[in-house]
Amino acid sequence: MHPDFKQWTTECLALTESFLEKRLPTSDCAPTRLHEAMRYAVLNGGKRIRPLLSFAAGELGDADKTRVVVVSAAVELIHAYSLVHDDLPCMDNDTLRRGKPTCHIQYDESTALLVGDSLQSLAFQLLAEPAVTDEPQAQLKMIQQLAVAAGSRGMAGGQAIDLDSVGKILSLPELESMHIHKTGALIRVAVILGASCSNKLTQDQFKQLDHFAKCIGLAFQVIDDILDAEASTAALGKTAGKDAENNKPTYVSILGVTQARELAHELRQKAEESLNQFGAKALRLQQITDFIVQRNF
Amino acid sequence: MHPDFKQWTTECLALTESFLEKRLPTSDCAPTRLHEAMRYAVLNGGKRIRPLLSFAAGELGDADKTRVVVVSAAVELIHAYSLVHDDLPCMDNDTLRRGKPTCHIQYDESTALLVGDSLQSLAFQLLAEPAVTDEPQAQLKMIQQLAVAAGSRGMAGGQAIDLDSVGKILSLPELESMHIHKTGALIRVAVILGASCSNKLTQDQFKQLDHFAKCIGLAFQVIDDILDAEASTAALGKTAGKDAENNKPTYVSILGVTQARELAHELRQKAEESLNQFGAKALRLQQITDFIVQRNF
């Protein structure tokens, strides 16, 4: 990772962490166990790709970072809630997340359920705050966009397709459609909302940006599948090899590792082409794209 | 029920039903099973007290019904999501709701989990739509109010306190605090958001209205506890006697039925006093209050 990029990510993530730290209810505030568990689920590291994407997209229109941080936190709360619910026994039944026991293991199932529910509410609460933009009409649109991305035609819908696909043989387009919903929708909205914190982008630029986000969302998933097949549990901080064990269709199970790697690089190229028109302002988005494809955790 | 009140409720509920019917994704839209289950969970009757409260509060400032209907639907979606999650095995583990199998019995646990998650997103999506008010700034505040009412310091927090209280002896104030969160927060926000669809009320009137809503929220719960102890499963459309069976503290277990009834009537009086200043425009809120205390289901 380039030292300058490293420093930029450190700064952005410090902003997001300190905002989340401040806005999550403290664990001495009733109901204390729920609030402690919410903080456990959110303030436990993770790659924070979505917040980084929001900040990087914000730079395209020189958005104020004190605005982008709210968006980045809202999107990360939706992501964190989805992980807590996905790990539940009735879903992926996973016990390890980011190197620590999953929320329902550390606490209990009912607490984990309420943690996810409450984190989703908190995301919309933050995104409706006056700090986000001077244009309340635009802000309402951003709330709608996050709600659609999170809901049954976005992330939650992708999760439903995923559950339904266990043990089935999917075609490549079917697998792609699942991921466009399951992880893609939230990655796209992280980019779009970050860019929406300024009002300098044209409709056409938003379209280009959305295409960029779609490509890196898929690339992210392809790499995830490769890592699940190849990396160790220790390196990932979550249980490796779960996909094969659960008989889940993945890019690796359909294409094999070599072709999956080729696909990731192709997606990276397409993503980078979509950034061309933004010139130097797209530097951070380019660097994140490289990171997504080259990461080993 | 007064025939005129009966007709008013029928009209309001028809508006809410048809709006929900139109805005819930159809079950031929992918992911089909999730969408079918979302419709099952929402379009299955219920008392629809919260939508009625929104409409009745809207009348205080002559709010446009085409606006109130959006608010009523958003609040009802939050309520419906909470029922689906509350019925899950890791929570109340209930099999019957509104006379039909609960969502996870009719479908499965993972679908029910995603149904609840998606309904919450949809609520915020609807409330962010342009139709709600001409004042986007006020609308952002309404979204915040719904998010706070639904979240860890509102409904979800009340659910956490509830789970934590099983098998414990609560004092009356502790029980009250639980219900102010668990059911009270959403009832209050249903009233406040309905009234917010017009911009004719003063800050003081909102305060009075909030006190009204707090009283009827508690009265609603007291009656619920009495019915759970006295009515049959057939009459309730949900499993009766669950509270005692689950060793849950209730108004009946703490006060006995007679004193619980007295408390309900006292709360009704306080609620009605808060409505005095609104004069004839509060007719529907008064009628709903009577209905809440006199209902037998």
pLDDT tens by residue, B178-192? 999 999 999 999 999
- Topology classification of domain A3-288: Farnesyl Diphosphate Synthase (1.10.600)
Q: Are A242 and A94 in contact (CB under 8 A)?
A: yes
- Residues B242 and B225: their CA atoms lie apart, in Å, by 10
SS3 A101: strand
pLDDT value at B42 more than 80 = yes
Mean pLDDT of chain B: 93
Residues of A whose CB is below 8 A from B29: 153
Tens of pLDDT, residues B63-122: 999 999 999 999 999 999 999 999 999 999 999 998 899 999 999 999 999 999 999 999
pLDDT on residue B276: 95
Assess whether pLDDT exceeds 70 at residue B226: yes
Looking at residue A279, its pLDDT comes to 95
**Termini Cα distance of chain A:** 14
Closest residue in B to A158 (Cα) is B31
Predicted pLDDT at A233: 65
Q: Which residues pair with A100 in a beta bridge?
A: A97
The answer to whether residue A297 scores a pLDDT higher than 70 is: no
Q: Which CATH superfamily hosts domain B3-294? A: Farnesyl Diphosphate Synthase (1.10.600.10)
Burial of B9 (0-12, 13-18, 19+ CB in 10 A): buried
Q: Which of B129, B127, B110, B124 is nearest to B31 (CA)?
A: B110
Is residue B245 predicted with pLDDT exceeding 80? no
Least confident segment among A8-22, A62-76, B122-136, B264-278: B122-136
- Flag whether pLDDT at B211 surpasses 90: yes
pLDDT at residue B178 in the model: 92
- Choose among B108, B124, B156: nearest Cβ to A117: B156
| pLDDT score of B140 | 97
ipTM metric: 0.95
**Phi and psi, residue B100, nearest 5°:** -130, 165
Task: Tell me the CB-side half-sphere exposure of residue B229, using CA atoms within 13 A.
Answer: 21
Mean pLDDT for B209-221 is: 96
Q: Which amino acid is at A116?
A: G
Residue A78 has pLDDT above 80, yes or no: yes
Confidence of residue A229 (pLDDT cuts 50, 70, 90): confident
Mean pLDDT of chain A: 93
Indicate the pLDDT class of residue A235, thresholds 50, 70 and 90.
low
What is residue A133's predicted lDDT score, i.e. its pLDDT?
Answer: 82
B136/A141 CB distance under 8 A: no
Distance from CA of A222 to the nearest CA of B (A): 22
Whole-angstrom Cα distance, residue B224 to residue B228? 6
pLDDT, position A236: 63
Mean pLDDT, residues B272-278: 96
Residue B43, pLDDT > 90, answer yes
- Mean pLDDT of all residues in A38-49: 91
CA–CA min distance A125, chain B (Å): 5
Compute the nearest-CA separation of A38 from chain B (Å): 9
Question: Which of B124, B144, B159, B168 to mutate: most A Cβ within 10 Å?
Answer: B124
In this complex, which of A113, A124, A129 lies closest to B91 when CB atoms are compared?
Answer: A113
Considering CB atoms only, which of A82, A111, A153 is closest to B160? A111
- Does position A3 have pLDDT exceeding 90, yes or no? no
Q: Best residue in B92, B117, B132, B166 to probe A by mutation, most A CBs within 10 Å?
A: B117
> What pLDDT digit, counting tens, does each position of A181-202 carry?
999 999 999 999 999 999 889 9
pLDDT tens, position by position, A101-138? 999 999 999 999 999 999 999 999 999 998 788 899 99
Size of interface A-B (CB pairs under 8 A): 160
- φ and ψ at A211, to 5 degrees? -65, -40
Q: Count of CB atoms within 10 A of residue A272's CB? A: 17
Rounded-to-integer distance, Cα B48 and Cα B71, Å? 13
Structure tokens at B10: 């029928």
Q: For chain B, what are the domain ranges? A: 3-294
Which of B33, B111, B156 lies closest to A114 in CB terms? B156
- A141 CB neighbours in chain B (<8 A) are 128
* H-type alpha helices, chain B: 3-23, 32-42, 49-58, 65-86, 103-106, 109-127, 136-150, 155-165, 172-179, 185-196, 203-230, 233-236, 242-245, 251-255, 257-275, 283-294
